[in-house]
Structure 1
Amino acid sequence: MRRPTIIDVANSAGVSKSTVSLVLQGSPQVKPETRKLVHAAMKEIGYVYNRSAANLRSTGTALIGLVINDLTNPFFTEFATSLQMALGSRGYAVVMANTNEDAALQDQVVAAMLEHGVSALILSPAYGDVSNTLAAVERAGIPMMQVLRKVDDADAKVPFVAPDYAAGGREATQYLIQTGARRIAFIGGLAGAEVTQERLCGYIGTMQEHGLQPIIKTGQSSRSFGYDAAVDLFKEHPDCDAALCFNDLVAFGMINACHAAQVRIGADFQIIGFDDIKEASECWPALSTVHCGVPEFGERVADTVLSWLQDAETPAQLTRTPTRLVLRQTTKSV
């Protein structure tokens, strides 16, 4: 689809090209009524003003937009850092924004990045309606990738790359069963979210294969939820002997609850996290977890985006990277 031009805006608004240019430059010479008319035409035809394109061409610098749903989560922060370092080493600057799971804010920051001339966009989307974001990027005609999580609307349009969460869930659950655990719970992750379903399906499938009954408590992916879920779990299912957590933060909360209840972690109750953020190896006891290879993942995404930009190599619609179980002190040995 052809990107709208400044001439298209002028024709739609019924003004001259020079008038549109003055509006884009914020010139006080343009009457307020004319300015409103031009902005309305821009919105109607989907014109995106590339404020930085000329400067980028003259300096030889290129910008990559990175929009993350939750930079307060160390998993996403570690990914963003590894991606930024990989792109920076190749001469690309990264413009980064945190949406805090706000789809409306996501629309705003993506629009601003497009206006300021990003060459490509990497998106870990917020939950909610992302149709405006996808439409804006499509109009801009730049490469876009979804990473770590995806939204259904973009399945057929936007390449997606993420760790193989289902395989990680299977391996972790299988290991707990091999150690003798039989009442294994899955804790955390928003109900209905695709990334939750992916991590859940490996757990549920493995439990069913062994004739075991799943115990599922979904919710926020936080320490506080992990703590509260563990307290409830010990009351409702006193025979529960292990938990696979949606992420490491939930697992940290469960560890704290075990300390408070004087439950022997690794002996009486086993815990496996998911993601293998840096803190997982530094907490006490050290957390067994599903390693998603975040640093390597960031480098891979950088390579994929730059191959798309520089060599016109369109990435596969779906790419899954390997996971592996890392055993530490919160689980038994087989």
Structure 2
Amino acid sequence: MNTNRRPTIIDVAKHAGISKSTVSLVLQNSPSVREETRVLVRKAMAEIGYVYNRAAANMRMSNAGLIGLVINDLRNPFFTEFATSLQMAMAERGYSTVIANTDESPELQDQVVGSMIEHGVSALIICPAYGETRATFDAIARGGIPTMQMLRRVDERLDLFPLIAPDYLTGSRDATRHLIAAGARRIAFVGGLDGRAVTEERKAGYLEVLAQEGLEPIIMTGKASRAFGRNAARQLFADRAGVDAAVCFNDLVALGMLSGCHEVGWRVGTDFLIMGFDDIEEVAQAYPSLSSVRCDIAGIGVQAAMTVVDWLENRNAPPPETRTTVSLSIRQSSGRGSGSLP
């Protein structure tokens, strides 16, 4: 058992060698449980230090055991990994999670959030779509439902809808500095739609470092997809502008650029250096392997789950904004072999 977290009912069940449902019956003082089983469960609780929170349990036995998770794009491995990690962490604490994909549609987001509110979710965790979202968050506020914005900020009322997201600004700074240290001088920023908060944050660190170094920015914003990255590589090659590296908005763009560079004959890691962003699992398996800004998205999923559970059970509202640390996963695409940098 991980000693850095509080024991759960699942840990009690494993320690006692019985089912989770039997442990639950003991905790609820069910008359259907034999006395020797009660003794076994109480002994296991004492040995692993499990403390039964009856108020929290009563809340979960009502409609408060359901968490709504709204994801803007489950096709993107970045968000899929987050959703999986969060759902599993919630399950460990005895909560069920209902998940909806909005496919980047604010209209669909409004619909699924409304449905979740009607079904009595006790909290909402939203990776929001961009667009007209004010009415959606107004409805949540009227319902008094604890709600986290995750990975993206679309509503500025962080006192009502706190944000947890990686430190995108530091990530793009570090990625750009790494490429400069690897010898790049004509570095492009590729991908991400203009005006969106995440794009602007990831672009800001890049611009800051280039300004410090007296280097000229080259911006190619657009859809954060493999197709855009592939076409961007072709365009850079056709322009013959001497671009020798790219900081990509995300790993999908970087994977697309990898394909595009292969098509035009650029050797990634020597002729052209690439840094992705997010460090999804696939980039380590690409060839050449892609360097990326590691956001530890699985860890963020666990952190978000624990934050919401603490909010519900102990009334500890999170701070308005939490930025999680990032690091660089350095691989073949940036010409430095493999490894990680803090």
1:309 aligned residue: 312
Kept after mapping to 1: 8 A contact 2:193/2:199 = yes
Match of 1:271 in 2: 274
Amino acid paired to 1:106? Q
CA spacing shift, 1:330–1:59, aligned 2, 3 Å: same
Residue 225 of structure 1: aligned partner: 228
Could you tell me which of 237, 241, 253 is aligned with 1:250? 253
> What does 1:105-144 align with in structure 2 at a 5 Å threshold?
105-144=108-147
Equivalent pair of 1:79/1:294 in contact (CA under 8 Å): yes
1:51-130 correspondence runs (5 A)? 62-130=65-133
Tell me the SS of whatever aligns to 1:185. Answer: strand
Equivalent pair of 2:141/2:160 in contact (CA under 8 Å):
no
Partners of 1:237 and 1:315 in 2: CA distance: 50
Aligned 1:290-305 pairs, distance under 5 A:
290-305=293-308
1:162 correspondence with 2:158: no
SS in structure 2 of the partner of residue 330 of structure 1: helix
Determine if contact 1:131/1:153 at 8 Å carries over to the other structure: no
8 Å Cα contact 1:288-1:331 kept in structure 2:
yes
Counterparts of 2:61 and 2:276, CA distance in 1? 48
Residue equivalent to 1:213 = 216
SS in structure 2 opposite 1:67?
A: strand
Q: Distance in 2 between matches of 1:263 and 1:299?
A: 40
Alignment match of 2:192 (pick from 189, 192, 205): 189
Residue aligning to 1:332: 335
Give secondary structure in 2 for the equivalent of 1:274.
Answer: strand
Distance 1:261 1:221 in 2: 21
C-alpha separation between the residues in 1 aligned to 2:166 and 2:311? 20
- One-letter amino acid matched to 1:136: A
CA separation of 1:327/1:277 partners in 2, compared to 1, >3 Å: closer, same or farther?
same
Question: What whole-Å deviation, never above 9, does each CA across 1:253-293 have from its counterpart, x for those lacking one?
Answer: 00001111111110010001000001011111111000000
- For the residue of structure 1 that corresponds to 2:334, the secondary structure is coil
Match of 2:201 among 183, 198, 202: 198
- Residue identity in the other structure for 1:108: Q
Paired with 1:58 and 1:310, the residues of 2 have a C-alpha distance of 13
**Inter-partner Cα distance in structure 1 for 2:240 and 2:171:** 25
Aligned length: 280
- Return closer, same or farther for 1:57/1:152 CA change in 2, 3 Å cut-off: closer
Q: With structure 2 as the length reference, what TM-score do the two structures score?
A: 0.79
Ranges in structure 1 where 5+ consecutive residues have no aligned partner: 1-54
1:15-68 Cα offsets, whole Å, 9 max, x none, are xxxxxxxxxxxxxxxxxxxxxxxxxxxxxxxxxxxxxxxx98656870000001
Deviation at 1:235, TM superposition (A): 1.8
RMSD across aligned positions (CA) = 1.6
Q: Give unpaired runs (5+ residues) of structure 2.
A: 1-57, 338-342
Specify the alignment match of 2:44 in structure 1: none
> Aligned partners of 1:132, 1:301: CA distance in 2, in Å?
24
* Aligned residues of 1:61 and 1:91 also touching (Cα < 8 A): no
Give the superposition deviation at 1:198.
0.4
**1:153 Cα deviation from its structure 2 partner:** 4.1
TM-score when normalising by structure 1:
0.81
Q: Retained in 2: the 8 A contact 1:230–1:257?
A: yes
Does the aligned pair in 1 maintain the 2:273–2:333 contact within 8 Å?
Answer: yes
* Superimposed CA distance per residue, residues 169-191 of structure 1 (whole angstroms, 9 cap, x where no aligned partner): 00000010011100000000011
8 Å CA contact 2:237, 2:264 repeated in 1: no
Shift of 1:154: 3.2
Q: CA 1:299–1:245 in 2, change beyond 3 Å: closer, same or farther?
A: same
| Alignment check: 8 A CA contact 2:155 2:161 kept | no
- Amino acid across the alignment from 1:300: Q
Q: Separation in 1 of the partners of 2:258 and 2:181?
A: 22
Q: Paired residue for 1:172? A: 175
Aligned identity (percent) is: 54
Deviation at 1:164, TM superposition (A): 0.1
Partners in 2 of 1:57 and 1:159 — Cα distance?
23
| Counterpart Cα distance in 1 of 2:60 and 2:270 | 61
Q: Which runs of 4+ in 1 moved over 6 A?
A: none
Q: Which letter maps to 1:138?
A: A
1:322 to 325, 334, 338: 325
Superposed displacement of residue 236, structure 1: 2.0
Q: CA deviation at 1:155?
A: 3.9
Counterpart-to-counterpart distance in 2, 1:101 and 1:161: 19
CA distance in structure 2 between the aligned counterparts of 1:160 and 1:61, rounded to whole angstroms? 22
CA-to-aligned-CA distance 1:138-160 (integer Å, 9 cap, x gap):
11111000010011443453100
